[in-house]
């Protein structure tokens, strides 16, 4: 028999949990919002994955604020453990997996109470992309950071004056040499960006952004140009005598099968999306045009077999300029429209 006395409180034990120590108060809470300045530096961008819609980067974020509670009489700078004082509790909203914080969680305070906190974030971040213009697309990539427990009216985030002094008016800069090779960063930006957690409810936040343009030469050289050559190969049937049925049909079928095989070969290089990108539309249009050339061959060989050779030759002569004209016009419309 289990004695219920085992579950009774021990003698001298307090009934209920011990009270937690009071949390440090937000500086100058009576005077209005706490001024927190930021200075962000994007040290590297290692990868942008269009298929997974993520990017990997590391960035350094410096925050400054004034806290009279940290004022001291000691000479020089004093260190405080982050959890022992009030500080902006940061959370990366769009992190995927674990974003590593590689620097010690320490705040440095000067005798007048000016606090400085620096942290380096390394990891991967989710990013919804608009890839309709792929592979000639560009997008803005964002690291969204929020200050937990505080509304935008309580925390005022502004660019650090020292960042403005060195020519970074938005409080963010980027390294001159990056690991990533298939994208080119064109601009960086940072701004206070409240995060909506529910309708009518938001918390203070910061958005660190960079805009990048995809370098499309890889897809031009390895996807688009070979595809154009395959389509042009299918046009050779228009210069073959309609009576040479075997050669015409064989060439048209070969072009069609080559295009299908090529489509499977490049499938791993293009993102799988519920909508058509420009490259998808171009590949689909090319496939339709090659299939129509196969139909044209079947028609002309049938006409030649029924003693209507001159009509078959006339159709071939018109197709010699109609197909290239349609291909060039529609193809330009797909990529330039």
| SS3 readout for 82-150 | HHHCCCCCEEECCEEEEEEECCCCEEEECCCCEEEEEEEEEEEEECCCCCCCCCCCEEEEEEEEEECCC
Rounded to the nearest 10 degrees, the angle between the axes of helix 245-265 and helix 278-305 is 170
Closest CA to 131 of 207, 57, 56, 216: 216
Burial class of 244 by CB neighbour count within 10 A (0 to 12, 13 to 18, 19+) = middle
Closest CA to 283 of 217, 236, 330: 330
All residue ranges of the chain with pLDDT < 50 are 1-21
What is the predicted pLDDT for the residue at 185? 94
What is the predicted pLDDT for the residue at 269? 66
Hey, is 170 helix, strand or coil?
A: coil
CA angle 10, 16, 22 (to 5 degrees): 135
Helix residue ranges, H only, the chain = 161-165, 217-219, 225-234, 245-265, 278-305, 309-336
What is the predicted pLDDT for the residue at 3? 44
Each as own residue / partner, the long-range contacts of residues 255-264 (CB below 8 Å, 24 or more positions apart, any chain) are 255/230, 255/231, 255/290, 255/293, 255/294, 256/290, 256/291, 256/294, 258/230, 258/233, 259/227, 259/230, 259/231, 259/286, 259/287, 259/290, 260/287, 262/226, 262/227, 262/230, 263/287
pTM comes to 0.80
- Cα distance between residue 326 and residue 337, in whole Å: 15
Read off the tokens for 115.
């606090």
Radius of gyration of the chain (CA): 33
4 phi-psi bin (left φ>0, alpha ψ -120 to 50, beta other): alpha
Read off the tokens for 97.
């997996």
Hey, is 228 helix, strand or coil?
A: helix
Rounded to the nearest 10 degrees, the angle between the axes of helix 245-265 and helix 225-234 is 160
């Amino acid at each position: 028999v289990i004695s219920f006395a085992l579950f009774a409180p021990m003698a001298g034990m307090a009934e209920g949990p011990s009270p937690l120590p009071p949390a440090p108060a937000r500086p100058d809470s009576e005077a209005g919002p706490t001024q927190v300045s930021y200075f962000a530096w994007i040290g590297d961008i290692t990868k942008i994955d269009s298929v997974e819609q993520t990017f990997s980067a590391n960035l350094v974020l410096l925050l400054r604020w004034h806290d009279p509670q940290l004022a001291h009489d000691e000479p020089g700078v004093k260190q405080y453990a982050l959890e022992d004082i009030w500080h902006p509790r940061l959370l990366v909203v769009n992190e995927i997996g674990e974003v590593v914080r590689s620097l010690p969680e320490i705040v440095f305070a000067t005798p007048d109470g000016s606090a400085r906190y620096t942290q380096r974030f390394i990891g991967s971040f989710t990013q919804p992309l608009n890839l309709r213009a792929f592979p000639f697309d560009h997008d803005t990539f964002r690291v969204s950071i929020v200050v937990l427990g505080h509304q935008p009216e309580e925390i005022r985030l502004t660019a650090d004056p020292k960042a403005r002094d060195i020519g970074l008016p938005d409080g963010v800069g980027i390294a001159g040499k990056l690991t990533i090779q298939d994208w080119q960063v064109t601009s960086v930006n940072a701004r206070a960006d409240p995060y909506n957690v529910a309708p009518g409810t938001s918390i203070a936040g910061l958005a660190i952004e960079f805009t990048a343009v995809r370098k499309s030469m890889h897809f031009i050289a390895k996807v688009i140009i070979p595809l154009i050559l395959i389509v042009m190969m299918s046009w050779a049937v228009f210069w073959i005598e309609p009576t040479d049925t075997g050669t015409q049909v064989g060439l048209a079928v070969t072009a069609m099968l080559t295009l299908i095989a090529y489509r499977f070969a490049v499938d791993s290089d293009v993102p799988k999306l519920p909508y058509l990108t420009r490259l998808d539309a171009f590949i689909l249009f090319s496939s339709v045009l090659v299939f129509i050339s196969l139909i044209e061959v079947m028609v002309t060989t049938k006409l030649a077999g029924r003693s209507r050779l001159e009509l078959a030759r006339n159709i071939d002569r018109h197709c010699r300029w109609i197909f290239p004209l349609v291909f060039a016009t529609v193809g330009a419309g797909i990529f330039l429209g």
